[in-house]
Amino acid sequence: MEPSKVYFTNLRTNASCNLLDKMERVVKRAGIAGIDFEKQFVAIKIHFGEPGNLAYIRPNYAARMANLLRSFGARPFLTDCNTLYSGRRANAVDHLRSAMENGYNPISAQCDVIIGDGLKGTDYREIEVNGAYCKAPKIGSAIADADIIVSMTHFKGHEQAGFGGVLKNLGMGCASRGGKMELHAASQPQIDTEQCTGCNICVKNCAHDAIHLNSTRKAEIDYAKCVGCGQCVALCQYDGAVMGAGDTSENMNCKIAEYTQAVLKDKPHFHVSFIMNVSPECDCWHTNDAAVIPDLGIAASFDPVALDKACVDMVTNAPILPNNRLADKHPHEHLEGEDKFHHMHPDTNWRAGLEHAEKLGIGTMQYELITV
């Protein structure tokens, strides 16, 4: 397979070109106008951010994208699917209010929001892919019914996948609540009793009542109830909740690749990633820790695999900032050329997902980076 083209622009601006202009310019240079958008329903897949988390993509970028797509004759809408864990995006009513609170409304984002899998996460289509891990992924109906997919991804770390990029945005993000349960199956966390302080935060925040404190005031998981969503791992500040041993991260990333295959099946698609506010964990939590590297820029491609790999490489080659999770663990080190996602989440295997996606024909990890 020939290397895919990934287009990149940094964040430097001047009086005649702001960041919205630069995003539009890079997606145009990447060839988005080559898609026939006339009268087509376009799902702009984006994460609206859990209220309290401020690392998500600003709605201004979504507005510029929506207006650009309309100029091509498209009928765009912003979309995401409901979540498994406790929070304010587990059903469409709360999800829509959260999106509006974060600026994703017809005024700021200049586009309508549709929750992809309906009121309670039960509105989905099964799309057959006959994968090694998933036979018929459960994809939110609004996304499955769309004619074209355009993803806008905040590139950052992820406590179970290693990093959150295009594949994570599409594969996990477009899955219905039932689909997310399939993706998380066999990735259940464990409690490190030596590290657990009995602070009770995991108990209070488990959406499935799967955790309690035992007689020694240590957290204990009821695996009959646990769905493996990983909220306890993300919330624990003491490394008391950790992902289970074995190849669970590898399996989950391979499942995400197969779900991405289902999302993109028989549809034109295009992808934009924002390497900004690169926080250690995903935007699903109600807080975001300090960014680990400087903001780098915006990248775009038709190939989601190449785009993810290019973003990983740029983060790998970047120096770390002070006063964040990586700097706390590696004082006086810059970590250029080192896998920062592995440093933050050593039990994850992000490479397995990209390799599986490449085998599935979704894209290639070989790319040519073109600076705009």
Q: Specify the pLDDT at position 247.
A: 47
**Rounded alpha-carbon distances, angstroms, from residue 324 to 201, 291, 312, 313:** 22, 7, 19, 20
Q: Between 99 and 206, where is the model more confident?
A: 99
Nearest-angstrom CA–CA distance, 350 and 166? 12
**Rounded alpha-carbon distances, angstroms, from residue 76 to 65, 142, 343:** 9, 12, 38
Confidence of residue 325 (pLDDT cuts 50, 70, 90): very high
| Ramachandran bin of 231, using left for φ above 0, alpha for ψ from -120 to 50, beta for the remaining angles | alpha
Q: Specify the pLDDT at position 187.
A: 66
Write out the E strands in the chain: 4-10, 41-45, 75-80, 113-115, 124-126, 138-140, 148-154, 156-158, 162-164, 189-191, 211-213, 219-221, 241-243, 269-275, 297-301, 367-371
Model pLDDT for residues 8-44, shown as the tens digit of each residue: 999 999 999 999 999 999 999 999 999 999 999 999 9
Give the pTM.
0.89
Nearest-angstrom CA–CA distance, 201 and 183? 24
Q: What percent of the chain has pLDDT over 70?
A: 98
pLDDT at 234 over 80: no
Domain 4-185+246-371 has CATH 1.20.120.10: no
> Domain 189-243's class?
alpha beta
Please state, rounded to an integer, the average pLDDT across all residues of the chain: 95
Nearest-angstrom CA–CA distance, 21 and 2? 30
Q: Structural domain boundaries of the chain? A: 4-185+246-371, 189-243
